Amino acid sequence: MTAERLPVDKRGSNDKGIDPALALILDRHWRGETSAPVALMQLLIETEDAGAVAKAVANAAQGQAGGVKRDTAELERLIAANGAGCERIAAMLRADMDSAKPARTVEEGIAFCERLFDWSVQQSEEASVALYSLGNPELLSAATDEIVKQLHEWGAISPSTALLDIGCGIGRLLTALAPRVRTAAGIDVSLEMVKAARRRCAGLANVSVVKGSGAGLEEFEDGAFDTAIAVDSFPYLRQSGYELVERFFAESARVLTPGGRLVILNYSYSGDDAADTQEVRILAAASGYEVLIAGERPFALWDGLAFFLIKGTA
Ligand SMILES: C[S@@+](CC[C@H](N)C(=O)[O-])C[C@H]1O[C@@H](n2cnc3c(N)ncnc32)[C@H](O)[C@@H]1O
């Protein structure tokens, strides 16, 4: 459920009256490193308590940082408009279904993801794919729009594109991209996600959604796609095991045409951009990809880390 489980550095700002971990999250937001929805998501992950989040923001508004008054208007507006969504997300986090622990085996990791996403999509479809949506369809749609715009700017999609969405979740990208590509196929390990995606994509003649085994892309033929995207799904593959990530790199290369594109938005939730970038470069080289973009954060609303790879033509 894209919990973005970033380790929070407890040596953050010394705002009086605010937990240092929460102060650090707020500082990052005020430095312009995170949007208000992402900051709220991080506060919810840290506290698992919507009331505590509202209190931390209110305290910050009262100028606790060495008497410096912070502009909390946007955060307060979002909290007021998404109270029920924030409560639901806090309850989802308290249910402790998610875990940042690496899986002991790939099979266990895949089974864990299947259980987690079958459950979370039934709590909130929007939050299950993006906690920073705060469960709000409009916020999720704004975040989806910025991804679609970026895919266009990179030249990753066009009306002739056969697109694959790896870990498609509820199909928010399939529905947004369907009118802009020739065909769009989604695959996901969670049957409940697949059901939600099929419902949302009903009536879109060029879209198909399949339930995958979680172990690869065996449903698809060699060279079937021009572009593959994986939005916030690699962190779960990575958590299931490096071996599974290697398999998905090789499999994506197999199902792409020569010169085909692979877009990975978030590779892991390690919080270590340099390590993620290095790992992606190694995996890309091993599967015959050229790396065009590695480790950039091109979005305003979402803090996703972007990788744009091209399959070699040799
Ligand atoms: C955070 S959600 C993101 C969903 C979608 N990409 C989006 O951005 O709206 C991660 C998705 O990856 C899927 N997933 C996790 N492990 C997977 C695997 N081994 N194979 C296929 N899908 C997987 C989950 O079921 C879930 O739907």
Task: For the chain, give the secondary structure using H, E and C.
Answer: CCCCCCCCCCCCCCCCCCCHHHHHHHHHHHCCCCCHHHHHHHHHHHHCCHHHHHHHHHHHHCCCECCECCCCHHHHHHHHHCHHHHHHHHHHHHCCCCCCCCCCCHHHHHHHHHHHHHHHHHHCHHHHHCHHHCCCHHHHHHHHHHHHHHHHHCCCCCCCCEEEEECCCCCHHHHHHHHHCCEEEEEECCHHHHHHHHHHHCCCCCEEEEECCCCCCCCCCCCCEEEEEEECCHHHHHHHCHHHHHHHHHHHHHHEEEEEEEEEECCCCCCCHHHHHHHHHHHHHHCCEEEEEEEECCCCCCCCCEEEEEECCC
Residue 293 and residue 185 share a domain: yes
| pLDDT band at 159; cut points 50, 70, 90 | very high
Residue 295 and residue 155 share a domain: yes
Query: Bigger pLDDT: 103 or 272?
Result: 272
Residue 170 and residue 36 share a domain: no
- pLDDT value of position 7: 41
Identify whether 262 is part of a domain: yes
Identify whether 257 is part of a domain: yes
Residue 152 and residue 261 share a domain: yes
Residue 36 and residue 179 share a domain: no
Residue 159 and residue 50 share a domain: no
What is the distance in A from the centroid of ligand 1 to the CA of 233? 4
Identify whether 116 is part of a domain: no
Identify whether 105 is part of a domain: no
Identify whether 13 is part of a domain: no
Q: In this predicted model, what pLDDT tens digit does every residue of 266-282 receive, in sequence order?
A: 999 999 999 999 999 99
Mean pLDDT over 56-79 rounds to 80
- pLDDT value of position 229: 98
- The response to whether residue 169 sits with its C-beta less than 6 Å from ligand 1 reads yes
Ligand 1 pocket, mutate which of 41, 110, 114, 236 (most atoms under 8 A from CB): 236
Q: In this predicted model, what pLDDT tens digit does every residue of 161-174 receive, in sequence order?
A: 999 999 999 999 99
| pLDDT band at 69; cut points 50, 70, 90 | low
Q: The domain that contains 186 carries what CATH number?
A: 3.40.50.150
Domain holding 151, by residue range, is 137-311
Identify whether 227 is part of a domain: yes
Checking if the pLDDT of 48 tops 90, the result is: yes
| pLDDT band at 17; cut points 50, 70, 90 | low
What integer best gives the mean pLDDT of the chain?
92
- pLDDT value of position 235: 97
Residue 214 and residue 151 share a domain: yes
Instruction: State pTM to two decimals.
Output: 0.94
Residue 58 and residue 163 share a domain: no
- The response to whether residue 113 sits with its C-beta less than 6 Å from ligand 1 reads yes
User: Phi and psi dihedrals of 239, rounded to 5?
Assistant: -70, -30
- pLDDT value of position 313: 82
Last residue of some domain: 43, 78, 94? Answer: 94
Identify whether 208 is part of a domain: yes
Identify whether 61 is part of a domain: yes
Residue 192 and residue 68 share a domain: no
Ligand 1 pocket, mutate which of 107, 188, 195, 248 (most atoms under 8 A from CB): 188
Total count of domains within the chain: 2
Last residue of some domain: 74, 94, 114? Answer: 94
Checking if the pLDDT of 301 tops 70, the result is: yes
Last residue of some domain: 94, 112, 145? Answer: 94
Residue 282 and residue 161 share a domain: yes
Residue 146 and residue 252 share a domain: yes
Residue 266 and residue 198 share a domain: yes
